[in-house]
Chain A
Amino acid sequence: NAGVTQTPKFQVLKTGQSMTLQCAQDMNHEYMSWYRQDPGMGLRLIHYSVGAGITDQGEVPNGYNVSRSTTEDFPLRLLSAAPSQTSVYFCASSYSTGATEAFFGQGTRLTVV
């Protein structure tokens, strides 16, 4: 049981490049989400999904796209990277929206130069 698998762990991008952060879970969880974590700030929700085919915006969605074609996968796309997107990104999943515990991937440390 792998839990939540997030790749890559580290990435350096040039301004304007695009990339996809991968997130997969094998726990048959309905709810998945993407956060960014910046120094001195709490985790901020980028996008979330309550099930396959359903996505919605969180607090800071600009510059990011998501899709949820299967229950297992929830990739996050950076369309045109900017230095302001330098951050640590976490994917999380839980059994349902009302679940009492969320499981996090190991994080992606992204630097945009």
Chain B
Amino acid sequence: GQNIDQPTEMTATEGAIVQINCTYQTSGFNGLFWYQQHAGEAPTFLSYNVLDGLEEKGRFSSFLSRSKGYSYLLLKELQMKDSASYLCAVRDGHQLIWGAGTKLIIKP
């Protein structure tokens, strides 16, 4: 079956670093995505990994290990505006399979 697991909720402090994990079991794999979704808004693209390793983009980095079915999103220098849900998704053929999302709460 298709399964993507993420923690439901995480809390971190402004200025700190947080790592959001995602594990997946899918019948196919053509890339892994991370999206950010603020409450009441549409998801917006953060990162894409198709090869093993780390992709860095400003304060955000994403890591992929295909052999372990594992990815993480690393957020540095947390800001209050980073309070949002973070969605992990795997492309399998024409379709994206989505995790339920991790709600990140930032405290001052």
Contacts and interface: CB of A to CB of B under 8 A. Distances in A.
Nearest to A104: B42
Contacts of A59: 95
A48 B94 contact: yes
Interface residues of B, number: 21
B7 interface: no
Interface string A77-113: 0000000000000100000011011111111000000
A45 B100 contact: no
B95 A41 contact: no
Contacts, number: 49
B48 interface: yes
Given A42-B4, A107-B42, A100 B48 contact: yes
Interface string B84-99: 0001010001111111
Q: How large is the interface on A (under 10, 10 to 19, 20 to 34, 35 or more residues)?
A: 20 to 34
B94 A56 contact: yes
Contacts of B101: 42
Top-8 shortest CB links A-B? A42-B98, A104-B42, A43-B98, A100-B48, A101-B45, A42-B100, A42-B99, A97-B94
27 contacts: A31-B94, A35-B98, A40-B100, A41-B100, A42-B4, A42-B87, A42-B97, A42-B98, A42-B101, A43-B43, A43-B89, A43-B96, A45-B95, A56-B94, A58-B95, A90-B42, A90-B43, A97-B93, A101-B45, A101-B48, A102-B45, A102-B96, A104-B43, A104-B44, A105-B42, A106-B41, A107-B41
